[in-house]
Homo-oligomer: A and B are copies of this chain.
Amino acid sequence: MAKQERASRTRQALIRAAAEVFTRQGFTLASLTTISRRAGVSNGALHFHFENKKALAWAVEDAAAQSLHRITGGGAHPGEGALDTLVDGTRRLTAALAEDVVLRAGFELNGDPSLRNEARLRGEWQRWVEETLRQAARQGALAEGISSDGAARAVVAATVGLEVLGAQDSSWLSSERIQGFWDLMLPSLTSPCPREPSCSAAP
């Protein structure tokens, strides 16, 4: 048991170190030597736990996916509107991205040319946004003429943009940023017109 516990700790250390180096240097540029040194273990230990560099990246992604699932919470809370769930989800995502290196690394891995095909975190995020918006549509929370998938794409584009920009300047991940986005987006989304009944967004 003590053995396995130790093994699990070095595994976690490796994943965390990898996430840190990946975010700073990118997957391709990051060297396994740097990662193992930062984790305080040897090269051999790294290759005992992960067969190759890609496998290490996938492990980072898996850990990030778990964080993402914790954020999306597996769906809407009972008694809460789907739209609120969505807004809250984006808020929690950006906040988590600002704090959690592993989550950030997991998302950034999606952009590296070496793993473009295998990466999946943005895909999962997109699916959740689409699903939640479809649910909002079923709840009648969306304005007439608003397609849930079209709205989902706008939301995904904006959040991915924040994530990418936030990788270099974390102020993009502040709560004000995401709030400002929703201030502009929500009114058109909700039925029928937030301020005045006659104000339809899509004439």
Residues of A near any B CB (own CB < 8 A): 24-26, 28-29, 111-114, 116, 122, 146-147, 150-151, 153-154, 156-162, 164-165, 167-168, 172, 177, 180-181, 183-189, 192-196, 198-203
Contacts and interface: CB of A to CB of B under 8 A. Distances in A.
Contact of A156 (B147, B150, B161, B194): B161
B114 A29 contact: yes
Contacts of A201: 183-184, 186-187
How many copies the complex holds: the figure is 4
A181 B164 contact: no
A185 B183 contact: no
B181 A157 contact: yes
B202 A177 contact: no
Nearest to A126: B165
A196 B203 CA distance: 14
Contacts of A147: 180
Given A156-B165, A157-B157, A159-B161, 20 more contacts: A24-B113, A26-B112, A29-B114, A146-B184, A147-B180, A153-B172, A153-B181, A154-B180, A157-B158, A157-B159, A157-B161, A160-B164, A164-B164, A184-B201, A187-B199, A187-B201, A188-B188, A192-B199, A193-B198, A199-B199
Contact of A161 (B113, B146, B160, B198): B160
A168 B198 contact: no
Contacts of A192: 195-196, 199
Contacts of A172: 153, 157
Q: Nearest 10 CB-CB pairs, A to B? A: A161-B161, A157-B161, A26-B113, A160-B161, A187-B201, A193-B199, A150-B180, A28-B28, A158-B158, A184-B188
